[in-house]
Structure formats: structure tokens, C-alpha cells
Structure 1
């Protein structure tokens, strides 16, 4: 929409500039409009006064003819009296003259005989009434014929005793050619003057807009550079505006307060960082302990000295314990080096195999693993991948209520064009709406949904590999976590 481009989206400099230009344009339009109206009024007054002057002169001439005629002054004799004189009058005054009887019938006209109808139309009755009812016994009828204004005056012809003898009609066509030419010349000159003024206005508006907004531009640039994490410079500027000086002083005071706040914030962040580090390290150390405990308990429960696969099972149990010990070692090393927890030790591995191996520590018979392929190769840290799987599976198991009859946790691995998708789905109680925005926060935990600090940590691990973790949940039906990790070349 055109309104999408609002004035509020323009800079102050452009708005000042446009405002001044608009004012000049409005002034020029108003001046041209007033000039046109004035010229039209002058033309109207001129034609009105000219018709009155002509009418007065003709009536004086008619009165002279009436005073010198030898015919009796009666309405019947008007045609005879002006039989020859009417053409002389029309020639002297350069106007058409018509003489009507008192009832509106045409008696004599200065028109040539061939242009006068055999039966000339009488004066309309409404005009006769207006002439008779007016104080001056006169009426001017104005009509537009083919776009040209025609005036036609009607007035009574009286004898020396002011007795009405007939009606004088003087048709008058307004010729505005002179005024139209003068108006056109004036508008051309006005346009030239305003074009010159517009050029000057452009330059002046640009200069004034730049001058007014220069100080604001300095403040704006400095504000955009202001940051809590750096030493901010004050504005050393004396503007010509009291309001801008108040703004500069307010900014400088803000810089002082910001510096004090930055010192307090830095100290608080250091303290918070140590507390958070301690919590995360404690959580990461506890994380491997759970699968180690489960592995040992599983070994105790299933140990059989006569089992022909005893050596292989001992090897699997040992590998699992060693992996968890390596994880604890990586956490400790990362903490000591103040690096990310744990540090990445990328290697070429089969995601399907590592995920399946990570699930061996869980004894739940409702835990199901699926994969369309036996081998999906990528390059990443083995211990971090195991940590992702164990955290998600453990949370899925904890999300299913103990009293629930049918339990199911599905772990699937599949290949997407350029990434591997690991999905962990449970049919537990789901995540309540008020907790959905918080489950990846480091400090968030709830026993009902089984989400602890681990989700925040594995999210960081996944994002370090340019991957994503998302979830879908329905209260009372379960939750599905989806991890997408890019497939890097081996």
C-alpha cells in the first residue's frame, strides 16, 4: 500500500526539506488561484460597467431623438420614430439595439432585415415582470451560449413625463480575449518567478535541513556506537539549539551512569558465570554416573559364569564404563581449561552404531530403536553424541508416569539429504504449555517432565555443530525431540 511509505519512515532532514518545498508549492498554487479569481472578477466588473455605460449613452441618445421628433410620443409611434434612427444609434454605439413594445413585441431592431425572423420572438414574460417590478425598471439577463457569456439588458423607454413607451434591449457579448491574454501572460511570468524561487528554495531547504540536523546526526551516530561492553565517549558539542544541548547533556549523563552500571554488571556476570559453571560441571559429572550405575547393576543382575558370551558382554560393559569415564574426564579437562564443556574431539564415526551402543545402558524393555540404514557416517565427538542420546532418552523415560500401563520410547535415526535426524519419542505426560518456552534454559528443571539442566547443555553442543534441536508435544500424549546434525565429510 502507498500508506506503507509513511512520513515517519523518513529522516528528519528529508522531512524538513520536503516541508519547505511543499510550502513553496502551496504558496505558488494559492497565488495562481487568487490571480485567476481576481482576473475573472475584474473582467466581470468591467463588462458590467461597460454595459451600463453603453446603456446610459444609448438611452440619452434615445431621449434626444424623442425630444426632437415631430411624431406624438405614444407607444404606437416608437416603430416609426426609430425607423431610420435605430441603425444610426447602433452604428454610433457599436452595439445591437432592439426596441420592444410594453407587452414584449419587437418593434424595431438594428439587425439587418435578412437576419430578422419574419415573426421575431417576444420578450419572455418573466423578464417583463422583472423589469416592471424592479425599482430601476431594468433587468440584465445573463446566459452562457456555446461557452460564451451573453448579457442582455432590458430597460423601459420613457417620455419626458416618465410615462413608459416601450422597452429597450441591448444584447452584449462578453469578449474576454484581452483578459485571458493578460492572465496567460501573468501566469507565465508568475511561473518563471516561482520556478526561480523553487530552485532557491531547494538550495535553502537543503542547507537549513542539514544545518538543523547536523547536531542530531552527531548524537545519532554516537548513540549507535554506544555499548555496555566498551568505553563510550561523551559528546563535546555546543549546538545552537537549547533543546539539542539538553539532549547532549542527557546523553553525557547517561554515559556516566552506563559506565558505573557496566562495572557492576561485569562483577555480577563473573560471579554468575562461576556459579553457573559449578552447576554445569556438577550436572555433567552426575550424568555419566547414572549410566555407569545402571551398567554395573545390569551386570550384577545378568551375570552368569557359564554364559558362552560372557567375554563379549564383559567387553561391552567395559566399553560402556570406559566411555562414561572418558566423558567425566573430558568435563574435568574442559573446566580446568575454561573451555566449552566438553571440548570437541572430532572423529569419523557411524551415528547408527554409536546411538545403538548408547542405548545398551538402559534396561527398559519398552525402549525401541529404529534405523533405515546400518551406516550413517559423519565426523563429530563420540562422547558428545552419546551425551545427547543419553540425556534425551533419560528425559523420555522420566516423562512417562510410573502408573501408566503402556509405555513406549522410540529412538530413530535416518538420513536427510545433508544431515542426520535423531528422533526420541515418548508417550508420556507431555510438556505443559507454561514450561515449553523454558525447557532449554540452563536453570530450568521439573520432575514431572523430567527436563533438567542437561537439555540446555546438549542444545549448546548441537548448536556448536551448526545443528538444531526442536520438539513437538501434546499434553497427555507425549513428546518428540528431533535433533538435526549436519553430515560432514569424513
Structure 2
């Protein structure tokens, strides 16, 4: 599991690089192993063939001696027959020759005068049994003696009637020094070539893995940076790899489709927003029209020139109409303010002083102002700043129910790093959980009157000045709005 986890964490580039190096190492080890195996196999084949050739030559020579000897061809006479010839045979063929009787006891050896310790041992009964049961009447025994490999060939010595007279034993040491030196020389030369190959493999693997993954990295970067609300750049098809070209083409097609979808989505959202806004404005305008109509109709039915209270009735009628007209004007102004904000007239402002002045218009004695600094300078539009304060404080006042015995609104300002933090905190009814995600929606309101455009306008103003607005609220305990704006260090 741990190895699989580490492998998954490897990038594609590292996997390609490591795979190529691993293949080079494995192939080199296999080549060296096969070469050493081939060398050793050729050495065994060489010694086997050489022993067979020596054995055939010696048998022919022995047969010639047996055919020309004057001694009777018996097992007992074999020491006499080969007394003077066995050393000559051993010298000519460069091999030790031992002749045993049919029971495996040594009769004569080419070693000549030898000590007791060097007397060749008798042939084991097992070898004699194998030799006897062999179809070719020949057996080769392999042994390791003093870390040297020996091949010992056993065959029958026969008379002219092919009757076995004895057993010829030919001990043949495999002289592997030459082949071992060849192997060492080969491995030395191979290691030099292998080192060069390894360096070349590392270099090629590095550039190859980089080449393969460079376009993939470009595509990955482009995909990561792809956004729905902006123009995304395409990738030029410059790779010689068909697969990568296909991937780039697919990405470019996706960018085209994404741009088209974004355009259609933006248009649809704008149309939907304006439709919803038009419905809301129409609804708000219709609200005062009904009482206006009823007032006019009522006044028309009850109008009497001779009525002594006619002047008072006309004044009441006018006030009612003016009130409803003011309501319609308020709706139109709010819609106009939200649809097109006036151009910003930014200037350096002491936000502490501006907030204090904005709070002076409120008559509620439970509004308290706090500031850790006497002067915090920010650059923004004065009217916009006042609108932020008045809207948030007005909302806080409206959030406190009339039944609250200890109403409290705290407006505080403090400096946090390179920003000024403006907080408006109340102990009102709070914002319910289901309304928290909709609080900044343009048409959303929890009040019985108004269009719900205030916080939407405030959010737009704050973001246009590179700031941010957030809030925390707990139902039944109150709400705290926080506005963060950049300041000018003086």
C-alpha cells in the first residue's frame, strides 16, 4: 500500500524518467547475465568436445597397440602390454591415463612412480554399474576437486573380439582460467560501455520525459486557469505527437464551447435579472396606485362645494396623493441607483470623522460610536461612504423590535494591518439561517416595505472600492456587519 501511495504521488514526468532508467538497468543486467552464461556454456561445450576427441584418439592408439602386441590379450597382461606405451600415450595426448581391471582396481597409470597418497582410487561400484548398463559403454563423471572442475571419462578396453579387458579412466581437468579471464575482460569492457549507456540514458530520459510532459503541463496550467467569466487563451498546436495534438485540439474546442456557453449564460442571466427587476418594480409601483385610485374615487363621490369642511378634505386628499407619489418616486430612485451607480469621485477621507458626521442624523440615543484611532485615511467617494453607514445603521435600527427594553447599536472602527474595519452591531432579531445566503440578493428583503436593494447597493459600492463586506448573525441575539476597506498609510 505504501509503495502504491508513493507511486501515485509521482508525476508523469518522474514516472517516465524512472521507467526509462529502470529499463536500461534491467536490459544491461540481462545482457551481462546472458553473456556470462554463454561464455560458461561455450567453455563446457569446448571441454566436452575436447575430451571426446582425446578419448577417441586414445582409443584408436590403444587399439593399434593391442593389435600389434605379442602378449596374449588378457586383463592380467595389460600392465605388461602398456608398460612402455602408457607414458608415451599420456605425453602424446597430454592427458593422464589410468587402466583398471573390470572390478575397478588400478592396473597401470601414466603417473609412473607415485607415492601412496597419490595413487588413483579404485573405480566405485556405482560407476562400474552405470558403465555396464550404458548402451554406449561410456560414462563421464563430473566432480569438483579443490575448487576445480574435473571430467573423468570411463570406457571399456576391448580385445579384437570386442570382449572387455579392462576400464580406461581419463581424468580431465577443465582449465577455466582462460574463460574466466575472458569473462572478467568482457565485464570490464561492458561496465565501461554500460556506464556510458547509463549516462546517455539518463540524459535522453530527462529530455524525453520533459518533452512529453511539457505540453501536458501547459495544458494543465491552461485548464487550471480556465474560468467561465473571462476570455480563455487557446494553445497553439506545435507538438509532433499526434496524441498531444489531439489533446490540444480537444482543449481548444472546449475553450470555444466554454466561451460560447459563458456568453449565452451571461445573456440569459442579464435577461433574467432584468425580468425579475421589472416584475419587482412593477409590483412596487402598483402598490401606491391602488390607494391613489380609491382616494380619487372616494373624493369624487363625496365632493360637495357647499361642504364647510371642503378645504380640510382637499388638504387630506392632497397629502394622500403626495405620500403615494413620494413612495413611487422612492421606488424609481432605488431602481435607478441600483441599475447605474453614479461615477465615483474618490478623495482622501478621514473615515472616523465621516462616520461620526453620518451618525449625527440619527436621533436614537442607543447608538454608540467607538474608535481606536482619531484619524484613519482611506480613498473613496464621500457620498458612497455615507451611504454605507446610513444604510447599515438604518437596517440595524429596523432590526430591533419595539419590545426590546435595552436596544443597542454599536458602530466601531479599528485598523487591521493595511485595512480599516467598520463594524455595525445590533441586538436585534438577527437573520434566520435560511435567509443568510440571500441577504445580498438585489430583490431580497424581510421587511414589509421597500425593494430590498439597499444591501445589494452597499455590496456593490464596497467591492468597487476594493473592499469586502461580511456579517455574523444569531437569531434572537443580533447581527454584526463588517466592512473592510483599504487605507492609505501616512
Taking structure 2 as the reference length, what is the TM-score of the superposition? 0.56
Against the structure 1 CA distance between its residues 226 and 330, is the aligned structure 2 distance closer, same or farther, given a 3 Å change threshold? closer
Against the structure 1 CA distance between its residues 111 and 383, is the aligned structure 2 distance closer, same or farther, given a 3 Å change threshold? farther
Against the structure 1 CA distance between its residues 226 and 370, is the aligned structure 2 distance closer, same or farther, given a 3 Å change threshold? closer
1:361-411 CA-to-partner distances (Å, cap 9, x unmatched) read 667777654333343333332332333344445566677889999876554
Give the deviation of 1:152 after TM superposition.
0.9
Within the alignment, does 1:52 sit opposite 2:52 as a pair? Answer: yes
Give the deviation of 1:488 after TM superposition.
1.0
Give the deviation of 1:421 after TM superposition.
1.9
Within the alignment, does 1:377 sit opposite 2:343 as a pair? Answer: no
Give the secondary structure class of the aligned counterpart of 1:171: strand
Give the deviation of 1:147 after TM superposition.
7.8
* Structure 1 stretch displaced more, 409-418 or 258-267: 258-267
Mapping for residues 416-431 of structure 1, pairs under 5 Å: 416-425=416-425
Distance 1:333 1:412 in 2: 31
Give the secondary structure class of the aligned counterpart of 1:154: strand
Against the structure 1 CA distance between its residues 407 and 98, is the aligned structure 2 distance closer, same or farther, given a 3 Å change threshold? farther
Give the deviation of 1:139 after TM superposition.
3.5
Mapping for residues 107-256 of structure 1, pairs under 5 Å: 108-111=108-111, 117-118=117-118, 127=127, 130-142=130-142, 150-160=149-159, 161-163=162-164, 165-166=166-167, 168-175=169-176, 177=178, 181=182, 184=186
1:452-473 CA-to-partner distances (Å, cap 9, x unmatched) read 6544443343333333334556
Contact 2:443-2:451 at 8 Å conserved across structures:
no
Contact 2:338-2:453 at 8 Å conserved across structures:
no
Against the structure 1 CA distance between its residues 403 and 451, is the aligned structure 2 distance closer, same or farther, given a 3 Å change threshold? farther
Mapping for residues 460-475 of structure 1, pairs under 5 Å: 460-471=460-471
Superposition CA RMSD, Å: 6.4
Unpaired runs of 5+ residues, structure 1, are 283-326
Q: Which is greater in Rg?
A: 2
Distance 2:432 2:456 in 1: 16
Mapping for residues 81-480 of structure 1, pairs under 5 Å: 81-100=81-100, 108-111=108-111, 117-118=117-118, 127=127, 130-142=130-142, 150-160=149-159, 161-163=162-164, 165-166=166-167, 168-175=169-176, 177=178, 181=182, 184=186, 268=268, 271=271, 341-359=341-359, 369-393=369-393, 410-425=410-425, 432=433, 440=440, 442=442, 454-471=454-471, 480=480
Give the deviation of 1:123 after TM superposition.
5.4
Distance 1:334 1:63 in 2: 129
Contact 2:39-2:179 at 8 Å conserved across structures:
no
Unpaired runs of 5+ residues, structure 2, are 1-5, 283-329
Which residue pairs with 1:296 in the alignment?
none
Against the structure 1 CA distance between its residues 100 and 30, is the aligned structure 2 distance closer, same or farther, given a 3 Å change threshold? same
**Residue correspondences, number:** 412
Distance 1:489 1:330 in 2: 37
Give the secondary structure class of the aligned counterpart of 1:158: strand
Contact 1:419-1:486 at 8 Å conserved across structures:
yes
